[in-house]
Structure 1
Amino acid sequence: MAKQKYRTLDDGTVIPINEGGGAKVFVAGVAIVAAVGGGTAAGVGGAASVGSGAAEALPGNLAGDVADSLPGRSLKTRKAEAKKSAQRGRKDETFSRFKLKQLKQAAKHEIDCLLNSTDRVREYLAQHRCTSLDRNLFAVGDGHGNAAVISVARVGFPKKSDAEGCEKVEEVQGSGDIKPLAATLLRLADVTFSGHHFQSKVDGKTMVVAETETVAGHLDSDTLDALADVSVLFPKL
């Protein structure tokens, strides 16, 4: 058997080189395998497979230590209680309503909305100046290997009517988007947000957009929808 070769990334992470034509990226001890030539990373859309099991895709997501703050409650009740927590800015409490915990977080404050938007949303922003762009990305998990990423973007405008107009464009499937932060900021394989688990709202002069996707294991569609519905209610973080 040939000796395994390794290389060191700029951040000091050591990863094995797969001589068989694919690339293996180890994230927190898990091999996420993607085919060379634009294949989808494992756990992100499902075109590739996850080595060693998706349960280890994020550090701390195998501890089995996630408390259920609403045992035996329905998803409808969980979402209603989570909305109250989210409006108060209590992220940990919000996620615990779904028997999840926050594993990682990234945030950026910017002004260039055109650079960070696409398609018709970008066209709208070219005609209606934004005043601020705040983007957050959270990784949450159930302590048993199942995890999701949540993107929350806040776009400020000079007038409330500008924010309302942008939301009308944004909420149409396929019309473009405020680009979520890259999951690589959390040292995960990047995620393509489908727009199927999406919620938006206008908060004063600000448009807020929340999107969710599974990043490891499995979270059902209704839970992903509920996470977007409550995360859009977070105040500016």
Structure 2
Amino acid sequence: MAKPIIREGPNGPHIITPKKGGGAKVFVAGVAVVAAAGGGTAAGLGGAASVESGAAAEALPGNLAGDVADSLPGRSLETRKAEGKKSAKRGRKDETFSRFKLKQLKQAAKHEIDCLLNSTDRVRDYLAEHRCTSLDRNLFAVGDGHGNAAVISVARVGFPKKSDAEGCEKVEEVQGSGDIKPLGAALLGLDGVKFSGHHFQSRVDGRAMVVAETETVAGQVDSGTLDALADVSVWFPKL
């Protein structure tokens, strides 16, 4: 298992776990690598963004209903992730989220072709040299019916060639290299939520690059579940 990294950021230090089949983007700048101390998560160190519980409850009223079914009762997170991936590949969103005892609360989507406007830093530089053909961004709010909720961003960038998508992923997966901007969580009524890149996954799907990111927006969603949600959501077909 890759060791976590402590990185200084605008909101103070936070832990970044190198990407190895899930988790954060790989961080390659000169920083010290340390072993994790205690049971704290990136959210506990200020890395993950969240909104005040009252605001989230108002924006996500269905998250207090307590009517969420667990489609895999008693199963481990690894089993849930494996089954969730199968459901995601079939495009079954509700089934995918139920693998983690969650339900979809809200969704927003946007289709556009201006990739430069919706990217940053080195990712934007790459897109300036390698024309994209489409950009589809989706945003989901999911919750457990008991006040705990997360937001999931899935962005799909189309290219003329598979090699262009592969090249973009190599740039995208490096921490600090920029990003395809997720749709603003304000579209779901969740103002103030930003994606940290701590819970991130990417893949190449034919001539497209797909990126998924997750964050807690209310209550407590543990880091492992956030990573797993990114790992499975990146497998959704074009939505």
TM over 0.5: yes
Aligned to 1:235: 237
Distance 1:194 1:88, change over 3 A: same
Cα separation, 2, equivalents of 1:137 and 1:189? 14
Q: In the alignment, which residue of structure 1 is the partner of 2:101?
A: 99
- Counterpart mapping for 1:1-237 below 5 A: 50=52, 52=54, 57-237=59-239
Structure 2 CA distance for aligned equivalents of residues 140 and 118 of structure 1: 27
Instruction: State whether residues 49 and 194 of structure 2, in contact with CA within 8 Å, keep that contact through their aligned partners in structure 1.
Output: no
**1:103-138 deviations in Å (ceiling 9; x for gaps):** 000000000000000000000000000000000000
1:78-97 deviations in Å (ceiling 9; x for gaps) = 00000000000000000000
Q: Distance in 2 between matches of 1:84 and 1:59?
A: 29
Change beyond 3 A, Cα 1:112–1:144:
same
Q: Which has the higher helix share?
A: 2
Secondary structure of 1:78 counterpart: helix
Q: 1:121 to 1:50 in 2, by over 3 A?
A: same
Change in 2 beyond 3 A, CA 1:234/1:52: closer
Secondary structure of 2:63's aligned partner: coil
Higher relative contact order (CA 8 A, sep 6+): 2
Q: How big is each residue's C-alpha offset from its partner over 1:158-211, in whole Å with a ceiling of 9 and x where there is no partner?
A: 000000000000000111000000011111113211101000000000000000
Gaps of 5+ in 1: 1-43
Name structure 2 gaps, 5 residues minimum. Answer: 1-45
Determine the C-alpha separation between the residues in 1 that align with 2:166 and 2:111.
21
Q: Compute the TM-score of the two structures, normalised by the length of structure 1.
A: 0.78
Q: Residue deviations 1:128-158, cap 9 Å, x none? A: 0000000000000000000000000000000
- Aligned counterparts of 1:72 and 1:236: Cα–Cα separation in 2: 31
Query: Residue 54 of structure 1 contacts residue 217 of structure 1 at CA under 8 Å; is this kept in 2?
Result: no
**1:50 Cα offset (Å):** 2.9
Structure 2 partner of 1:26: none
Identity, % of aligned pairs?
Answer: 87
Structure 2 length normalisation: TM-score? Answer: 0.78
Q: Output the CA distance in 1 between the equivalents of 2:96 and 2:89.
A: 9
AA at the equivalent of 2:186: T
Question: Separation in 2 of the partners of 1:218 and 1:51?
Answer: 10
8 A Cα contact 1:54 1:146, kept in partner: no
Corresponding residue number in structure 2 for 1:7: none
**What is the count of residue pairs matched by the alignment?**
194
1:235 aligned partner, one-letter code:
P
* Distance of aligned partners of 1:82 and 1:48 in 2 relative to their CA distance in 1, 3 Å threshold: closer
Distance 1:101 1:160, change over 3 A: same
